[in-house]
A and B are shown apart, each in its own frame.
Chain A
């Protein structure tokens, strides 16, 4: 990225930050509604590194709790979503069978599942993982399906005349060809997984990044809420980058096509 591009990318965030500084310094908005940037920064530092105070040093524990929920839910969604999507994209029977129910389920807003999940699984890990899995499943499934469907027949013909059997063709041709779409689905799924993680954690679990910002609301600690939001954004972004990096490291088809 050139200097010009970097400057352009930073323009809006920096303008927003400057406006925030200005508003706080001028005292236009009371601190309990919008704390000053310095206060949020201090709260963040205390939350991550601190040793004293209500939220001091909790970050590491919350991160582990949230990350394990996200990764568990995301992995479940990928393990079910990719094979099912690939099969639906290639096999008419599977698509007829799955398209209706999956389309119907997708029409239900994810948040509707929360009450039911609470009854089924209670408050805690299971409910959060259930919500994350459900939400991450749809983009992963849909993009795997599209990717599989878009593979032109000529590539199977090329494989067949080179002596590649149908079964081996799935791994040697179909999956690599569908890889760009599969990656898109996984990235969208990872993003939405974080969204639903926070939703799941707002329900009263004791630990996790979502739990902390909800808890901070009760305690009137607006700066912790804002610090939490910034941290979730940063971690979500890191997860996305790591996901792409891992895929590129593991698959030639990801490395050379994305």
Chain B
């Protein structure tokens, strides 16, 4: 069983994200409920890490802490060595549910929050077009979110964070609500983006098949202990053959973990 220390074998030197001795508890009606205990791991530049675990294990909570939406009870997260204290465009988040702004077109959603002078804005709109192209939405710039399918909305959600060139892309079960066909397409798109842009991605999912398809490394959060139960490096060439033996073996191993 790989420990947190081993996972940092690459050394914190090359790490973009370091999570250090992090614990978190929620208080419900005066009762303290711990969800995360003593979590430590790190991510290298360009790495795609999937956080898996059963519902209620705290994987989304961990992502929210890294995003800066939540302050951990103990411990801290470091991005490029600096403590994370609040949300910022260096950590783009793609949510599970639709979080696009409904009164803005696709183009305006992607440009949201960016400002600048006339010259900068002209450059900005060119960049928006490039991103529309990149996520496969060329020609949809003037659509309102309500006219888009679930998969297309998540493409916009991707584009609006990628335009900020985030150090770290945080994804909270982003394809969970999509149909199987669309989910496969989105996974391919994500892998293509991560390859092209050397994007570092922390991806939360409870879907084993998705984790084995995407991840360089899978981190399993054990719901019972609130700790990292195990880490599995997925040592498979891409594109991965989902019907192949090795893929099935990894899947079986992760399924076994989730049964705990």
A residues neighboring B (CB under 8 Å): 154-155, 157-164, 172-173, 176-177, 179, 252-253, 255-257
Contact = CB atoms under 8 A, between A and B. Distances in A.
A17 to B, nearest CB: 41
A256 B68 contact: no
Interface in B58-113: 67-69, 86-89, 91-93, 95, 97, 99, 101-104, 112-113
Contacts of B104: 252, 256
Nearest to B91: A161
Contact of A173 (B97, B101, B144): B101
Contact of B113 (A155, A159, A179): A159
B166 to A, nearest CB: 9
Contacts of B93: 157-158, 161
B89 A162 contact: yes
B153 interface: no
B interface secondary structure, majority = loop
Nearest to A256: B103
Nearest to A168: B113
B86 A162 contact: no
Contacts of B101: 155, 158, 173, 176-177
Tell me whether chain A's interface is mostly helix, strand or loop, or mixed. helix
A162 B103 contact: no
A6 B185 CA distance: 46
A144 to B, nearest CB: 17
A161 B163 CA distance: 13
B164 interface: yes
Nearest to A254: B103
B102 A157 contact: no
Given A154-B95, A161-B87, A162-B113, 13 more contacts: A157-B69, A158-B95, A158-B99, A160-B86, A160-B88, A161-B92, A161-B93, A162-B160, A163-B89, A173-B101, A177-B102, A256-B102, A256-B103
Given A158-B95, A161-B88, A257 B103 contact: yes
Contacts of B95: 154, 157-158
